[in-house]
Amino acid sequence: MLYHSFIALWADVFKFTENKLNLPKGSIKCTVLIEHLLASFEMEEIVYNLKDYIIGLNCGRWDYIFSYIKCFRNQLRITPDRLNISMTTPFLKAYSQEVIRTSHRRGIFAMGGMAAAIPNRADAVANNKALQSVINDKERESSSGHDGTWVAHPGLVPLAMKVFDEAIEGDNQIHRQLEGYITNKQLTEIPRGPKTSLGLRNNISVTLQYLEAWLRGIGCVAINNSMEDAATAEICRAQLWQWINHGVKLDDGTIVTPELVKNAINQEMETRMVMVGSTSNRLVDASVMLEKFVLEETLSDFLTLDAYDKIVSEGR
């Protein structure tokens, strides 16, 4: 949802449905996922338009980061390595605080975002690292004022619940009102951090693996002990496009060029082909699509649109 006018349409849908089914007004309940930068400027209007139905606002951090890159794609607001953009990054911290402030002021829940880390029972060290990252994330959310949260794996639910149960007296902390206000400058502050060759290659690897799995009908993919989905893949390919189009200089002095990224995509595809050792994968198709996305003149709205066209053209 980008604007409150979109929300007004859903309010009409809910009202129509209740009338059609002879349900009491307000029987339908909803939570709105604030996952676009533009929506962060209209939270009050969103809540107002759904006043008969809304019970909370929710942080959708990954789509939100993607929207930041997309909104400022033609400006010199260059984002650092994806893995260095976290909820403590100023513009994301401001967004989270505004979700809490708006929600509690209107007497509804403020839900935190999804921790992408997932358990790894085959690797104790990696598993402990993942669990600790989830604990840290949920401690930050609960101490900031969020009333609840979500995770990427059902095995993490007890862990997240434990953190929130220990931090909150009662069922929620709607009574907690944040003082002050968030400015437009804070919501759009340029994130700082390193821009590295490793970050570039990680973006290529994640997007390539995700697209390959998506073309085989898999929408969520475990990569490097994190759950990657369409939103995280969107961040990766949008950032690659951004770095190419603005000729970003990496920390080692390398200039990001179309040729550099094309070569890196081919290298990653060849490495993955050797690792998979099967002709049943979709790595070639995925690499062709990824190259198209990062080299196109105008950034595509969503990578899944082309992916759907690919599937439909195959009669699937």
Q: What's the pLDDT tens digit per position in 29-52?
A: 999 999 999 999 999 999 999 999
Six token digits for residue 18: 């209740």
Residue 316 lies in a domain: no
Are both 29 and 138 inside the same structural domain? no
At 222, which CATH number?
Answer: 1.20.1220.12
Neighbouring residues of 244: CB distance < 8 A, sequence distance ≥ 6:
256, 257, 258, 261, 294, 295
Are both 238 and 288 inside the same structural domain? yes
Of the three residues 162, 188, 214, the one that is the final residue of a domain is 188
pLDDT category of residue 116 using cuts at 50, 70 and 90? confident
Residue 241 lies in a domain: yes
DSSP, collapsed to helix, strand or coil, labels residue 175 as: coil
Helix ranges (DSSP H) in 156-257? 157-167, 184-187, 197-214, 230-245
Residue 284 lies in a domain: yes
Residue 315 lies in a domain: no
Q: What's the pLDDT tens digit per position in 248-297?
A: 999 999 999 999 999 999 999 999 998 887 666 899 999 999 999 999 99
Nearest partner of 64 among 114, 21, 13, 117, judged by Cα: 114
> What total of structural domains would you count in the chain?
3
Are both 71 and 133 inside the same structural domain? no
Six token digits for residue 108: 């509804």
**Domain around 122:** 115-173
Are both 169 and 179 inside the same structural domain? no
Are both 128 and 218 inside the same structural domain? no
Q: Is residue 190 scored above 70 in pLDDT? A: yes
Q: What's the pLDDT tens digit per position in 138-187?
A: 999 999 999 999 888 899 999 999 999 999 999 999 999 998 889 999 99
Are both 14 and 85 inside the same structural domain? yes
pTM: 0.93
Six token digits for residue 136: 């840290």
Residue 29 lies in a domain: yes
Q: Backbone phi, then psi, for 26, in 5-degree steps?
A: 90, 5
Are both 297 and 216 inside the same structural domain? yes
- DSSP letter for 9, please: H
Q: Please state the rounded mean pLDDT for residues 95-124.
A: 94
Q: Is residue 316 scored above 80 in pLDDT? A: no
